[in-house]
Structure 1
Amino acid sequence: MKIPNGYEVIQLFESFSPKYLAEDGDPIGLQVGTLSKKISKVLIALDVTEDVVDEAIAGGADMILAHHPFIFRPLKKIDFSHPHGRVIEKLIKHDITLYAAHTNLDVAEGGVNDMLAEALGLQDFTVLAPTYREGLKKLAVYVPAEAEEKVREALAQAGAGHLGHYSHCSFSAEGIGRFKPDEHANPHIGVEGKLEAVQEVKVEVVVPEPLVNKVIRAMLNAHPYEEVAYDLYTLDNQGDKELGLGRVGMLPETMTLREFAEKVKMAFDVKTVRVTGDLTAQIKKVAVLGGTGDKFVRTAQFKGADVFVTGDIYYHTAVDFKQEGMNIIDPGHNVEKIMKKGVASKMDALCKTAGFEMEWSASIIDTDPFQVI
């Protein structure tokens, strides 16, 4: 077991919540401090308030990983007499790194929206509002015939050649490869200064864009040549993986809107919810989106949802969609607090697999700014 540095921790975190999933302009990533230090304790928080920083200090945390970016807009000044300034002052004085994962964690498989859908017991859920479709590359590598199977298997094990429900998909064509080693070469085949002609196989595989570097490393490690000839092309067609905001799925059994509203309260640990619609309406298909979902009500309606569960619904939006018969349950933005325990649990498991000696804890501070009286 080893204590990793910040870069190793974030690399592990981004193995399931990569930065490229975030919306353009979302200020994710390192916000205060450094990743060039050992990290043994991480506090997971929804919001970064002074109380949360005090909690991190008391618990000896080296890092706070937050869902909502603390620095969302450019700062004009850092005033230590202001709450925001005091947060930065305490983070720096106590050497606590602050890292934010916002819309990338919303979109990610196993991220915030999956956690919300699972908490509601939704079955067979899919993406509500797609934001990312995986790009594809084609890798063509030239291999001596005797090494073809070894290289082909290495490519498959690294994730290349997966099409739908099929793995190890590839195409090959035989040909002649020619080369002349110079005096500094150490050739697998051939001798210095002599032109060689070798029976080779061109192996082609499709590679998901996020796996390109991993696949190329695997190919180079398996290939017998000192210098490997290969081509990498960008494809116009896209992969099967579609990710995005929100989820839509089915309840195990139909219930009324009133009954489902009570289920939402229990699932998300909230005392009250705002409901628009007929409380006797039958609910089976559910759309859910963490955070602010006001602009996605029409999307949920288009997807055939009987109810849309999301936060921060505007008054006029509720008026308009109530007239159209669209049911809405607003449990508030703070239900995204589900990510605290969810991320802590997931990262604890990943760290154990990676051999990292770390402690992950969920903040117990309630950062919901609203009280119901």
Structure 2
Amino acid sequence: MLANELIQRFEQFAPLKLKWDRDPSGLQIGDRQQEIHKVLVTLDVRPEVVDEAIKVGADMIFAHHPVMFRPANNLDYQEPQKAMYAKIAAHHILVYAAHTNLDSTDNGMNDWLAAALQLKHVTGLVPGYHADAVKMTVIVPTDQVEAVQEYLTNTAKAKLDRYAFNSGEQFSVDILQDQVTKAVAGINQFVSADRWDYQLQPLVSGGHQYSMGRIGDLAQPMTVSAFAEQCKSTFKIGGLRLISQHPDDLIQRVAILGGDGGKFYPTALAQGAQVYVTGDVYYHTAHDMLAAGLSVVDPGHHIESICIPKLTALFKQWQAENNWQLAVVASNVNTDPFTFI
């Protein structure tokens, strides 16, 4: 199969429009029209990961963190990172990265992390891309109304507007603007284009808000210290940094943002978080967090390695659904640069 088949399917799940400014998510190295047979899923693209890809025969690496986050000013092969680029090219390995779009999409990175902590009543934390909605009024033969409604609500994420004028052949749905093209193409598969029509009307409210990070509630209150210990167990780490003036206080409302999310702590506070879980907290930011009365658990950046089993399972599901001739392999290389001693 072509790499572009996997890329297009993934970008339906986590569109690039969800990525944050200056984030180089997407194709990193290679040609998306390249034929691929095996994809290696990893958190980071490091020299040892490239060696693993070569060893297992992978011709594509799918990573969360971009390998080319900062532009190279030369290709001096005496530098290990740049020698790695040469090795990738020499072995015709395509590299693709899904960073902040995977962080922000529904059922993506931060939902996986929130689920790992067993949070309830989960909502978004830091607003990002907002998908606008439109009202789609459909006129279709009476004998096709039920099928079209079922398609729009189940496949195109539409919601039937029961307050609009509906007749035997006409009904309205609220649908995301970016789903309209898909909806029209889908309906055309089972109703000929000359037998149905539609009109669109912009909606001033509604739509869908994508967000970075999540906030929710623990099933039962626990102390800050106990929650920190739970994080160590959940994320299988040997240690973490706890920032708290009151580690024995009971807490229940928890915010989490995978990666480096220290600068968003005011947003967590504003939404009522008692504890904020994020990595790479800066020394002076930690002082500000303490002054604001927020407890913070810093389990490191590497907890995002949860993406490896999650993406591997997702790709295998798509492989089965689409009968792709593609093997999917989870990386076994630990790219965490830190060891707790």
Give the structure-1-normalised TM-score. Answer: 0.83
Which of these residues, 162, 169, 173, is aligned with residue 158 of structure 2?
162
Asked if 1:298 is matched to 2:295, the reply is no
Q: How far is the alpha carbon of 1:247 from its aligned partner? A: 0.9
Structure 1 counterpart of 2:230, which letter?
A: K
- Per the TM alignment, residue 168 of structure 1 is displaced from its structure 2 partner at its CA by 8.0
Residue 117, structure 1, aligned to residue 85, structure 2: no
d(CA) in 2 for partners of 1:331, 1:127: 20
CA distance in 2, matches of 1:157, 1:208: 14
For 1:236, what is the secondary structure of its paired residue? coil
Alignment of 1:60-209 (within 5 A): 60-140=57-137, 147-150=141-144, 153-154=147-148, 156-159=150-153, 162-163=158-159, 171-172=165-166, 204-209=172-177
2:329 pairs with 361, 369, 372, which one?
A: 361
Deviation of 1:156 after TM superposition, in Å, equals 4.1
1:351 corresponds in structure 2 to 319
Rounded to whole Å, the distance in 2 between the matches of 1:258 and 1:224 is 63
Question: Please, which of 46, 65, 75 is the counterpart of residue 49 of structure 1?
Answer: 46
Task: Give the match's secondary structure for 2:203.
Answer: strand
Contact 1:151–1:219 (8 Å) recurs in 2: no
Could you tell me which residue of structure 2 aligns to residue 311 of structure 1?
Answer: 279
The runs of 5 or more residues in structure 2 that have no matched partner are none
**Matched-pair contact (CA < 8 Å) for 2:277–2:298:** yes
Look up the SS of the partner of 1:15 in the other structure.
helix
Counterpart among 299, 303, 308 of residue 340 in structure 1:
308
Describe the shift of the 1:167–1:340 C-alpha distance in structure 2 as closer, same or farther (beyond 3 A). Answer: farther
- Residues 1:321 and 2:289 are matched in the alignment: yes
Matches of 1:224 and 1:101 in 2, distance apart? 37
What amino acid does structure 1 have at the position aligned with 2:320? K
User: Normalising by the residue count of structure 2, what TM-score does the alignment of the two structures yield?
Assistant: 0.90
- Note the C-alpha offset of 1:153: 3.1
Q: Percent identity?
A: 38
How many Å separate the matches in 1 of 2:340 and 2:251? Answer: 27
1:104 Cα shift? 0.5
Tell whether 2:257 aligns with 1:289: yes
Output the CA distance in 2 between the equivalents of 1:92 and 1:69. 16
Q: How far apart are the structure 1 equivalents of 2:124 and 2:31?
A: 35
Shift of 1:120: 1.2
CA shift for structure 1 position 269: 1.5
Paired letter, 1:77: N
- When residues 137 and 156 of structure 1 are mapped into structure 2, their CA distance, relative to the original with a 3 A threshold, is farther
The one-letter code sitting in structure 2 at the alignment partner of 1:206 is D
Match for residue 222 of structure 2? 255
1:331 to 275, 293, 299: 299
- Secondary structure of the residue aligned to 1:69 is coil
Name the amino acid aligned to 1:263.
Q
Map of 1:40 onto structure 2: 37
Whether the 8 Å contact between 1:161 and 1:168 is mirrored in structure 2 is no
CA distance in 1, matches of 2:291, 2:239: 23
Indicate the larger mover: 69-78 or 327-336. 69-78
Name the SS for the 1:35 alignment partner: coil
1:293 is displaced (CA, Å) by 1.0
Range with bigger deviation, 52-61 or 68-77: 68-77
In structure 1, C-alpha distance between the alignment counterparts of 2:152 and 2:328, rounded to whole Å: 29
Pick the structure with greater CA Rg. Answer: 1
CA distance, structure 2, for counterparts of residue 210 and residue 9 of structure 1: 20
Q: CA RMSD in A?
A: 2.4
Point out 4+ residue stretches in structure 1 off by more than 6 angstroms.
Answer: 167-170
Cα distance change on mapping 1:172 and 1:284 into 2, 3 Å = closer
Moved more, 228-237 or 120-129: 228-237
Q: Distance in 1 between matches of 2:314 and 2:59?
A: 18
Tell me which of 210, 218, 221 is aligned to 2:186: 218
Go from structure 1 to structure 2 and tell me whether the alpha carbon gap of 1:57 and 1:227 turns closer, same or farther (over 3 Å shift). Answer: same
- Give 1:95 deviation, angstroms: 1.2
Aligned pairs for 1:213-252 (under 5 A) are: 213-224=181-192, 226=194, 230-239=198-207, 241-252=208-219
Answer yes or no: is 1:370 the counterpart of 2:338. yes
Return the offset for 1:229.
5.6
Contact 1:162 1:168 in 2 (8 A): no
